[in-house]
Structure formats: C-alpha cells, structure tokens
Amino acid sequence: MTNTEKKYNIAFVGAGNVAWHLAQAFTAAGHTVVAVYSRSAASREELAGILPNAAPVSVPDFTGLAVDVILIAVPDAALQSITSELKVKPGTTVAHTSGSQPLAILQHIQGAMPAVFYPLQTFSKTKDLDLKKVPILLEATQESVVQQLECLAQSISGKVHEIDSDARRQIHLAAVFACNFTNHLLGISQQLLQEANLPTELLHPLVQETVAKAMQQNPYLVQTGPAIRHDNNVIQAHLHMLQEHPLFKEIYQKLTESIQATKV
C-alpha cells in the first residue's frame, strides 16, 4: 500500500469556501470527514449535510472523536481566537489553511501536532474546482506529520510542496497581487463597460490573451498600453474620463507610475 492509499478521518473547523472544497475533495479521495465545526449553525449543517459521514458540531471539542487530522479553515482574523478554544486528543495533527499565518500560531493548542495545509487557490462555493493542479503548500515541525499531510495532499493534488512560514507569507503576498487585486481590476473594467451600456464579454479574449502571455513570459517584457509608451495625451484623457471615480483615477495613476518605473 503506497502512502496515497492511506485513508484518514478528518474534522473541519470552519465551513466556508475553503472547507467546502477541501471536504468534498477528501471525501471523493476516500477519506472520511467525521465532523464539521462552525460558529454558524447554518454553515456547519450545510457543509455536514453534503458529506456522507459528517456530524455538525457546536463546540470545537474533538477529544471524543476518532480524528487523525483537524483542518482549520477560518478567516485569518479568527484563527488566533479559535486556537484557544480548540480541544483535541494528544497527538492529533492540527493544520491551518492560511497563507499569511505562521505555523507558530498553533503552538498553544494542548497536545496538537501543529501544521499548515495551504491550498494556493481562490475558492467560491458557487464554482466547482478541480484541485488536481492546485499547489498545496505544507509545513510541520515533525517529519511524521509532514509525511502524513503529504499523503493526504497527494490524494487530492498533483502539486504538493513543503514550504516554510516565511516563504509561504511571500507567496501569499504575491497571490494578493495576482489574484485579489487582478480580480478587482477586472471588476473595474466591467463596471466601466456597464456604465457605457457595453457588453462585458467584449473584453474576454483580451483578458485571456493577457494572462496566457503573462504566464509564458515575464509580464514586464510584454507590457503594452499608454503607460509603457509614455503616451501622455491618452493618459490625460483617461484620467479625465475617470473624474467621477476618484479611487479608480488614483489606481490608474499609481499603476501608470509603477509601469513607467519598472526596470527590466
């Protein structure tokens, strides 16, 4: 039996977007999600309800359950407080799923083997997702825990990496630019089209090509547009068009400045 054939009992703390996707992927890979804790009764019941063997639990006390791995998938801001409430059997692996938080944030959970299980992806309940190509970044101090989580991660993804807290923090920062901020820019562009009663689909081929190109080459080397051409007439006209959107105007100015300051 290879490592990836081992099956685990898993519990979730948190029932949001990340737990939603991971719990279903683990179930499909043959693991058993035995419990789902969330402060929100509706959330824990909703997630437990779509899993074959999961009980919704109303207190984060897992000492009475046969659980190998507890995954904490809560907003970063809630992570600290949940660690003080969590109760686990000695020797249970407890992994958080946050890109920005260090492993050490889990160090005060009595008896826990602390770890990180960070899927580098953006999750929405409303959109299906194939986790096979999603990098899963692991960290643990105990080698046995690293191996256990590698086994678990490899059962749902082909891209599993061991990454320390500093590197993960830097990856998370890069991801904020590549994902969260990119998404907002795409939102602004759609808003500008909608305000002119133009179909947002017009920009889809452009966005797809932009991203395809940026993944093949250094984006700085394929930069196009008025900023890189120092086309001040166009830049001034655009700023004038944005006068009713002062924040968009400031974003335009800062990004233009940064494009023009980029050295490649």
**Smallest separation, CB 63 to a copy of itself (Å):** 30
Name the one range near a copy of itself by CB under 8 A: 61-69, 87-95, 144-152, 191-199: 191-199
Q: Of the two residues 2 and 216, which places its CB atom closer to a copy of itself in the complex?
A: 216
Residues 53-82 that bind a copy of itself (CB under 8 A): 75-77
**Does position 91 bind a copy of itself by CB under 8 A?**
no
Q: Which of 7, 52, 46, 1 is nearest to 156 (CA)?
A: 7
User: Do 53 and 32 form a contact (C-beta atoms < 8 A)?
Assistant: yes
**Smallest separation, CB 159 to a copy of itself (Å):** 8
Q: Residue 183 and residue 52: Cα distance in Å, rounded?
A: 34
**Does position 174 bind a copy of itself by CB under 8 A?**
yes
Q: Which residues of 224-260 are buried (b: 16+ CB within 10 A; e: fewer)?
A: eebbeeeeeeebeebeeebeeeeebbebbeeebeebe
Q: Residue 253 and residue 226: Cα distance in Å, rounded?
A: 12
Name the one range near a copy of itself by CB under 8 A: 41-49, 64-72, 143-151, 201-209: 201-209
Q: Residue 249 and residue 257: Cα distance in Å, rounded?
A: 12
Residue 87, classed as helix, strand or coil, is strand
Name the one range near a copy of itself by CB under 8 A: 22-30, 49-57, 58-66, 199-207: 199-207
Residues 203-242 that bind a copy of itself (CB under 8 A): 203-211, 213-220, 222-229, 231-234, 237-238, 241-242
Q: Of the two residues 144 and 236, which places its CB atom closer to a copy of itself in the complex?
A: 236
Residues 108-167 that bind a copy of itself (CB under 8 A): 120-124, 126-127, 129, 133-135, 159, 161, 166-167
User: Do 79 and 55 form a contact (C-beta atoms < 8 A)?
Assistant: no
**Smallest separation, CB 17 to a copy of itself (Å):** 8
Could you tell me the two tokens for 95?
């992994």
Could you tell me the two tokens for 43?
């959330």
Residue 76, classed as helix, strand or coil, is helix
**Smallest separation, CB 68 to a copy of itself (Å):** 27
Q: Of the two residues 55 and 175, which places its CB atom closer to a copy of itself in the complex?
A: 175
**Does position 178 bind a copy of itself by CB under 8 A?**
yes
Name the one range near a copy of itself by CB under 8 A: 28-36, 84-92, 145-153, 190-198: 190-198
Count of beta carbons in the 10 Å neighbourhood of residue 99: 21
